[in-house]
Structure 1
Amino acid sequence: MINIRPVSDLRNKFSEIEETVIHSNAPVFLTKNGYGTMVLMSIEQYSELTDNIERKLDESDAAAEQTTVRYSASEVFGRARSRINEHARV
């Protein structure tokens, strides 16, 4: 279940929000004046989202050190768009 709370709860009910984030293993969405402002999540949740990306970036850095070949931004994004479009057709 999505947990949406006013940002004032962060100040007034921090312990309750902390318990929710840690024990439900789900993020808490905070709103201000009825609009979303931020998302709170545990360190474990954040790591699940970012660890693979960090690993892939490290692999890319290592591969870049092995060659002098460089690509322009338009080449990189063009290839990314092509791959996304290929997957969209499947």
Structure 2
Amino acid sequence: MGGPNLEIFKFSLYLFVPIAALVHFGDPEWYRTTVIPYREKLFPSLDRTNQRIPTDQAGVREELARIKAERIARRAQREAEERKSAE
């Protein structure tokens, strides 16, 4: 078998790896530069999310009509831009 030197090495490795991970990933500067920008890409901001969810059928229909109107307006704007760029 390995002997006492191997056991000391394994024990020190078992202690070092979690402490090193804690020091590296627990740094507030690393969190600000790495995690927060990724979170901004992953989740939409609060102004882009709907905080008031309709609870009745009329509210749901109004919300669907609003979403469809926005989609149609964006599509018309995109097509107009494509026609301008094609000319």
TM-score for the superposition, normalised by structure 2: 0.28
Structure number with greater Rg is 2
Higher share in strand: 1
TM-score for the superposition, normalised by structure 1: 0.27
- Pick 1 or 2: higher relative contact order, CA cutoff 8 A, min separation 6: 1
